[in-house]
Structure 1
């Protein structure tokens, strides 16, 4: 029997290694193994690591510290940060109104109707249903994270104030600048998206009668300007009715969904079974792998709807007890929107027509219009359903202009915009309502200007929608990330506590925000051309580049960030005072309870005889000492005066 041939691996290595090289490798290995000095040195290092009590104790302390930071319960003391701004806007919105505003900004019927085609391309029923469920879950996580911060720092500046306070002091100003501009930009683009998308949706009614309908760019633009004019009129002339309008939005949207479901079930003859609704998946039109198609379709389908909830933080100065009202409004509006979306989606999927008729026949008609037309087989019923969605769209557009104007007002007040004195000005209207008129008109002017780009390139203009979602997600994510990096220390004492799950909720929020931003850069289908390309990321980077230039050329010297009220301290107060009194930086209280124009030091250092207050008054709230990070922003008064005030406080 012949001698066994060496294995293929042995043949391969024998060709690579010459006998001389193999001998050198064996010699080197023997040298390492038998080198007593080297082995002894390694053993010594190992023993030092194992038996170094100081080192081991330090490791244990680090571990205990991390576990303590993550799992410890926050104490029961509640602290609300106060800002050194004059209270100019009336506190007229209730919790129901704030929930209605958040609900209208998410605008479930139109949000689902306008992005239905994305879900159909990227997987059909399975992607639409389960993408909505997953996106709802993570949106709740983000709303919880923002609510905890908003309860600690209630301010109309919202997330850009949060970023300034929660970021490291070295990066406080630049963090606040970028967050503020992302917030302003997101508010403007969201308003544009609703107004322009609404004009296209309203005109698509003609497609219910004409299957070959093609929209005219000029008519769409004129309708867009008409919607903007209506929203401007409501925000200027009917400011006192916004409370009722926001409440009405809740009822209109919920009844719209219920009526639509009822009519579709009554008039439709063909229904899919439950298995089709829950499991039918077809991503062949997208060209992406199935898993990636589901992620792209699910996130892009739901992202336009779950986008505007964070904008209601800008209404903090117009509600009573914002540290309680804003968190409730955030969370409840998201939960109601998630549930309403499910109630709307499931009946739509149960009667869903063939994809070819929805996506191939006429790209200028919204797929939801075709669903109505084919399912009800009645122009009148389809027309009523479209009008119901158009009504909810009107509420969303009015609300988005309201929040955009408040954001511009707050950002201008902090010198974040050129000609800041113009944008922070408020006007008293004929009905004695106080409105930031100039900030509102600036938002309208920017919207009209950017809307005109639709005549140049419809693809570039459609990128504004994706850019709005990216901007608002970044604005929400920066303060949450800053809180994590600072071990959540600065939000301790919040009236809304996440306690042990805080780190988990914050981390999940940041991960999902990053994933959303990445996914929004992808087109729903790989089969793209110049017209269907996703330009959102290009538009966003152009805006970001402009924001960066603005910071280094102008903002670094002029932007001041949030003005925290340093003099608002428990140790220097006698008794308690109502929160409304402190929210105006240039008012104080005299012994007889009257407002007087005095230096804040009068209140801080007044004697017992000068300040008489009833500590048992039920309408008051106890004051707490500000955390150390209150020094990140300067007051508007003379710096020398602030220095003297600090010295006096230290002496006392």
Structure 2
């Protein structure tokens, strides 16, 4: 009996011991994460609240597949019709996966919120390290802020679409009202993105499941509810209808790539939150690839369903609703069904804005920490209550509100999408090029490595990124008027002129790339040298 009692007592303690063991394991992983971060020159300033599952959910949620495909449906519809919907999505998927794989390898090696511009600094020749880091950092911040603005702009369009459908077309809000909704959305995101990391991690995990469920529901609804009104398989996959001002059908088809390229951005977010991730060297690259693959697969199902359900491309193009996908759902599901599904899509897009706001604020914080932005001493501050870069969050939202003035242009989405892709994919390309050239022999792989495939995959990634960065600067018309102009080139040029002028006139004298805020000596103690302190004072001034 004594033996049985002791056995029972031990068994009751066992779950507690298992939990303690797990906690020690997590603490051990976090300690290794912080040690790796310190080796890269940074002290840990965030709570590591993101698990691997939550990191995957974050990377997936930032692309908001169903809501993002719905808001960009205009591009394939206008450029190439059914062919644009299906193959305009499918073709870019392969090339984007190559870009994502290359970034995943870099992130696994150097998991820091500085991300891309840190990679560039470490892989570039010493004499060009600071310049490479400066260009990459500014390109990435530009793309990040443009993406925040474009997500909230499309969310505002979704609200306007819902109001129009709900009132049977009697209320059609104009650009002024849409800009007001955009400001309200940015304000809500500024508040939520300022919250503690744990809150954001849980929110994105929940919405990852909602995102997947909504995507599946949209696919089933479009296929089933369209019934016998579906177009033939031949038309759904092969019918090309050029609705642009370009005479060349192939070039018009290329412009349909705008939709997937805008959707498939921001997956570098897993790199920018890596200082908040447990086991970042493994979790972050897995999250990048998982998020991209899941988005590509679900997005492909959605566009196939939409192509089958689109009985008249001409009618959808002529809709008075801001978003043609809203018209398609209305045609297929009716008013109540459309509004029910559309409401969920709005919430998904809103959370998409939260995740992108977090991403943009983290890279802004990181660049400010390295003295790469005007007023860096303000934007690098961490709030002592939430341990998040609240000042950087509000800077991002304020800049997005300024760019949001483009809502008064007829080509607002084209301009914002172009600026987003050009900015982000330029920042993706530079470190990949350096990984293949000057940094090839000094690159130290992390747990995730492409091995011998890094060279061919990297070449494909760079070639594709260069192609789409040029492509998305073009308007949808061969002879555009002022209203039809793609203003992405204006945004990109403005940032390029400002950042280049800053470099030539000032930054080249004091910006040296990633600036360590911790030094580890042989005994494991942190030290700060006088030269570094002097550089910090000079750059802040």
- 1:416 is aligned to 372
- 1:124 is aligned to 81
Q: Are the aligned partners of 1:213 and 1:365 in contact in 2 as well (CA < 8 Å)?
A: no
Distance 1:383-1:640 versus aligned 2 partners, 3 A rule: closer
Q: Are the aligned partners of 2:196 and 2:388 in contact in 1 as well (CA < 8 Å)?
A: no
Equivalent residues, number? 497
Answering whether residue 198 of structure 2 is matched by residue 245 of structure 1, we say: no
Answering whether residue 100 of structure 2 is matched by residue 143 of structure 1, we say: yes
Q: Deviations over 1:5-46 (max 9, x none)?
A: xxxxxxxxxxxxxxxxxxxxxxxxxxxxxxxxxxxxxxxxxx
Q: Deviations over 1:91-133 (max 9, x none)?
A: 1101111111111211212221222121122221122211211
For residue 294 of structure 2, the aligned residue among 336, 341, 347 is 336
Structure 1 residue 415 displacement after superposition: 0.5
- 2:29 is aligned to none
- 2:448 is aligned to 496
Structure 2 length normalisation: TM-score? 0.86
- 2:397 is aligned to 444
2: distance between equivalents of 1:460 and 1:137?
A: 28
1: distance between equivalents of 2:74 and 2:274?
A: 36
Distance 1:533-1:452 versus aligned 2 partners, 3 A rule: closer
Answering whether residue 529 of structure 2 is matched by residue 637 of structure 1, we say: yes
- 1:290 is aligned to 249
- Computing the radius of gyration from Cα coordinates, the structure with the larger value is 1
Distance 1:487-1:421 versus aligned 2 partners, 3 A rule: closer
Q: Are the aligned partners of 2:179 and 2:405 in contact in 1 as well (CA < 8 Å)?
A: yes
Answering whether residue 521 of structure 2 is matched by residue 600 of structure 1, we say: yes
- 1:207 is aligned to 164
2: distance between equivalents of 1:301 and 1:524?
A: 13
1: distance between equivalents of 2:55 and 2:325?
A: 29
Structure 1 residue 495 displacement after superposition: 2.1
1: distance between equivalents of 2:156 and 2:243?
A: 31
2: distance between equivalents of 1:531 and 1:101?
A: 36
Contiguous gaps of at least 5 residues in structure 2 = 1-34, 535-541
1: distance between equivalents of 2:388 and 2:364?
A: 12
- 1:259 is aligned to 217
2: distance between equivalents of 1:420 and 1:640?
A: 16
Structure 1 residue 204 displacement after superposition: 1.1
Distance 1:452-1:532 versus aligned 2 partners, 3 A rule: closer
Distance 1:460-1:109 versus aligned 2 partners, 3 A rule: closer
Q: Are the aligned partners of 1:122 and 1:286 in contact in 2 as well (CA < 8 Å)?
A: no
Aligned positions of 1:46-445 closer than 5 A: 82-208=39-165, 209-211=167-169, 214-237=172-195, 239-269=197-227, 270-283=229-242, 285-297=244-256, 299-362=257-320, 364-376=321-333, 378-429=334-385, 433-445=386-398
Q: Secondary structure at the match of 2:473?
A: coil
Aligned positions of 1:543-554 closer than 5 A: 543-554=495-506
Structure 1 residue 247 displacement after superposition: 0.8
Q: Secondary structure at the match of 1:85?
A: coil
- 1:525 is aligned to 477
Where is the helix percentage greater, Structure 1 or Structure 2?
2
Q: Are the aligned partners of 2:67 and 2:349 in contact in 1 as well (CA < 8 Å)?
A: yes
Structure 1 residue 253 displacement after superposition: 0.8
Q: Are the aligned partners of 2:79 and 2:255 in contact in 1 as well (CA < 8 Å)?
A: yes
2: distance between equivalents of 1:249 and 1:286?
A: 39
Q: Are the aligned partners of 1:144 and 1:331 in contact in 2 as well (CA < 8 Å)?
A: yes
Q: What is the alpha-carbon root mean square deviation over aligned residues?
A: 2.4
2: distance between equivalents of 1:234 and 1:604?
A: 37
Contiguous gaps of at least 5 residues in structure 1 = 1-78, 565-583, 587-598, 606-634, 643-652
Aligned positions of 1:559-578 closer than 5 A: 559-563=511-515
1: distance between equivalents of 2:432 and 2:149?
A: 27
Distance 1:640-1:201 versus aligned 2 partners, 3 A rule: closer
1: distance between equivalents of 2:265 and 2:445?
A: 28
1: distance between equivalents of 2:211 and 2:50?
A: 20
- 2:537 is aligned to none
Q: Which runs of 4+ in 1 moved over 4 A?
A: 457-462
1: distance between equivalents of 2:532 and 2:499?
A: 32
Q: Are the aligned partners of 2:108 and 2:445 in contact in 1 as well (CA < 8 Å)?
A: no
Structure 1 residue 459 displacement after superposition: 4.3
- More relative contact order, 1 or 2 (CA 8 Å, 6+ apart): 2
1: distance between equivalents of 2:338 and 2:532?
A: 68
- 2:424 is aligned to 472
- 1:485 is aligned to 437
Give the stretch that moved more between structures: 389-398 or 212-221: 212-221
